[in-house]
Amino acid sequence: MGCPCPSAGKDLVTSSNPAARAHRTFTPPELIRNFCIIAHIDHGKSTLADRMLQLTGVVDGRAMRAQYLDRMDIERERGITIKSQNVRLPWAVTQPDGSVKEHVLHLIDTPGHVDFTYEVSRSLAACEGAVLLVDAAQGIEAQTLANLYLALENNLTVIPVLNKIDLPSAQPERYAEEIAHIIGGNPEDVLRVSGKTGAGVKELLDKVVAEIPAPVGDPDGPARAMIFDSVYDIYRGVITYIRVIDGKITPRERIQMMSTRATHELLEVGVISPDPVPTVGLGVGEVGYLITGVKDVRQSKVGDTVTSALRGATESLGGYRDPRPMVYSGLFPLDGSDYPLLRDALDKLRLNDAALTYEPESSTALGFGYRCGYLGLLHLEITRDRLEREFGLDLISTAPTVVYTVTMEDRSVHSVTNPSDWPEGKISDVHEPVVKCTIITPTDYIGPVMELCQSRRGVMGGMDYLSETRVELRYTMPLAEIIFDFFDSLKSRTRGYASLDYDESGTQASDLVKVDILLQGEPVDAFSAIVHRDFAYSYGLSMTAKLRELIPRQQFEVPIQAAVGSRVIARETIRAMRKDVLAKCYGGDITRKRKLLEKQKEGKKRMKMVGRVEVPQEAFIAALSTDAAPAGKAK
Binding residues for GTP, by number, are: 42-47, 163-166
Q: Evaluate whether 68 touches 50 at the Cβ level (below 8 Å).
A: yes
Tell me the residue type at 83.
K
Annotated binding-site residue numbers: 42-47, 163-166
Q: Which of 182, 128, 120, 123 is nearest to 155 (CA)?
A: 128
Contact partners, residue 413, CB within 8 Å, separation at least 6? 405, 406, 407
Task: Work out the number of other CB atoms within 10 angstroms of the CB of residue 28.
Answer: 13
Q: Is the dihedral of CA 491, 494, 500, 506 positive or negative?
A: negative
In degrees rounded to 5, what are phi and psi of residue 121? -60, -35
Q: Evaluate whether 243 touches 126 at the Cβ level (below 8 Å).
A: yes
In degrees rounded to 5, what are phi and psi of residue 140? -70, 130
CA 563 vs CA 517, 539, 574: distances in Å: 6, 11, 17
In degrees rounded to 5, what are phi and psi of residue 274? -85, -5
In degrees rounded to 5, what are phi and psi of residue 335? -100, 115
Q: Evaluate whether 574 touches 548 at the Cβ level (below 8 Å).
A: yes
Q: Which of 136, 31, 42, 144 is nearest to 91 (CA)?
A: 31
3-state SS record for 240-264: EEEEEEECCECCCCEEEECCCCCEE
- For residues 406-418, one letter each, b for 16 or more C-beta atoms within 10 angstroms of the residue's C-beta and e for the rest, the string is bbeeeeeeeebbb
Report, in angstroms and rounded to the nearest whole number, the Rg of the chain calculated over CA atoms: 29
- For residues 194-217, one letter each, b for 16 or more C-beta atoms within 10 angstroms of the residue's C-beta and e for the rest, the string is bbbebebbeebbebbbeebebbeb
d(CA 343, CA 369): 9
d(CA 453, CA 278): 53
Q: Are strands 129-135 and 32-39 parallel, antiparallel or unpaired?
A: parallel
Burial of 16 (0-12, 13-18, 19+ CB in 10 A): exposed
Q: Is the dihedral of CA 277, 278, 283, 287 positive or negative?
A: positive
Q: How far is CA 110 from the centre of its chain?
A: 12
- Which helix H or strand E contains 93, and what residues bound it? strand 85-94
CA 2 vs CA 238, 539, 629: distances in Å: 11, 40, 32
